[in-house]
Structure 1
């Protein structure tokens, strides 16, 4: 891919992201989307914490 085509693709992707953000900020469902995103983020954080704890426990068991 040439430099110019990469620049065009980057511009198009940036414009699409800008449109999506603009739509999101002006949407009536913004609060619903934020709530869903926060819920999913919290679930993901809990999964990572659990995996981290399991890994720490496994390491501790191997060292003792």
Structure 2
């Protein structure tokens, strides 16, 4: 695929993503989507905190 073909495909994909984001931000489901994303981000934060703490404890045990 040539560089110009890649650029056209990239533009089309970017435009499609932009349209989808714009649609959701202007729809009635925006609040529902935002709440779901907040919930998921909190779950991910907690998961990473637990893994960080576990890693920290394991590291302390190895160094002790």
**Structure 1 length normalisation: TM-score?**
0.94
Specify every segment of 5 or more residues in structure 1 that has no aligned partner in the other structure, as ranges: none
Aligned residues: 64
Show structure 1 runs of 4+ deviating over 4 A: none
Q: What's the counterpart of residue 41 of structure 2? A: 41
Between 1 and 2, higher relative CO (CA 8 Å, sep ≥ 6) is seen in 2
Q: What's the counterpart of residue 13 of structure 1? A: 13
Q: CA RMSD in A?
A: 0.7
**Structure 2 length normalisation: TM-score?**
0.94
